[in-house]
Amino acid sequence: MSTPTGKWDARYLGPVPHDASYYGKCMLGGVIACGATHAGITPLDVTKCNMQVNSAKYKGLGSGLKTIIAEEGSRAIWKGVGPTLVGYSLQGCFKYGLYEVFKDLYMNAAGEELSSQYKGAIWLAGSASAELFADVALCPFEMTKVKVQTSPAGTFPIKFGEALKAMSAQKAETRYPFGSVVPLWSRQIPYTMAKFYFFEKIVSLFYTHVFTQPKETYSKPTQLGVTFGSGYLAGVVCAIVSHPADSLVSLLGKAENKGKSAGTIASEVGFGTLATKGLGTRVIMIGTLTGFQWWIYDSFKSAMGLGTTGGK
């Protein structure tokens, strides 16, 4: 698509101009993609968090679920679904929407030749910049979610509103609302950089080596199939990259670690444990989650006439 001035502009490379309406729709697509998917896997998340904070008791996904249900009832596997839905909806809004903004901004700053030459660097910079803001929005709700999910039964409110009030009332102890933002950045920024870089890279490989005709000549189901496959593979990489920091965020919510710094907890537990405990569950969870997030996001973009993400 030609620009109004006739000069190269990253905002005019797709099927429609990247204006305020475009970015707004991308933000809405991120809300839909992230909030629902994260909320839907709450039982896996509850089990994973408890495996990270009490590995002696919660040894695996199946046995951990059984233990939680046996001790607290079947509703316990949905603990934290409220803050999960709200927190990750906000995160998705900024993660996806601002990625589109920053990607265009950095491409235009670099110019046509450098943008083509250093696509990967632009993907990494755009995703890291977007996640910086996304995590600030997520942090209060992520802290609440972890506290709800990992507190022994009866020691902390489970209902969303009551849990938020308790976190605020106990902020000297819980460090609410932004006490975990640095560990969250250390988990989510590498995760998102991997998520967007490897997604864009795998999509590019698909359209270079498998689907070799122009992208727009393929049907929407084919394009969305590429989206899901690329998203799933990117999610596996994301899970491995971000797991140590994810374990650390969970351990910060453990009562025994009250007042301890992230560095102290990491040295006590050891990097090997942080990197491996609960990793198998998280690979399954994040691979599936990321695949569906990209599929939902691109389905929404496609329905809005914005086209799917990525290409050669």
Bigger pLDDT: 173 or 312? 173
The whole-model pTM stands at 0.84
- Give the C-alpha separation, 269 to 52, whole Å: 10
Which residue type occupies 169? A
pLDDT of res. 249: 73
Q: Residue 307 class from Cβ within 10 Å (0-12 exposed, 13-18 middle, 19+ buried)?
A: middle
Give the orientation angle of helix 42-53 with respect to helix 279-303, to 10 degrees: 150
Q: What angle do CA 266, 269, 270 make, to 5 degrees?
A: 75
Per residue in 104-160, pLDDT tens? 999 999 999 999 999 999 999 999 999 999 999 999 999 999 999 989 888 999 999
Q: Is the dihedral of CA 104, 105, 111, 113 positive or negative?
A: negative
Asked whether the predicted pLDDT for residue 5 surpasses 80, the reply is: no
Tokens linked to 182: 């640095």
Per residue in 13-23, pLDDT tens? 888 999 999 99
Which residue type occupies 146? V
Give me the architecture of the 16-303 domain, per CATH: Alpha/alpha barrel (1.50)
Tokens linked to 188: 């989510």
Q: How large is the average pLDDT for residues 241-252?
A: 80
Banded pLDDT at 3 (limits 50, 70, 90): confident
Half-sphere exposure at residue 267, Cβ-oriented, CA atoms within 13 angstroms: 5
Q: Is the dihedral of CA 150, 276, 184, 20 positive or negative?
A: negative
The 3-state secondary structure of 239-259 reads HHHHHHHHHHHHHHCCHHHCC
Provide the residue ranges of all domains of the chain, joining segments of one domain with +.
Answer: 16-303
- Give the C-alpha separation, 224 to 241, whole Å: 25
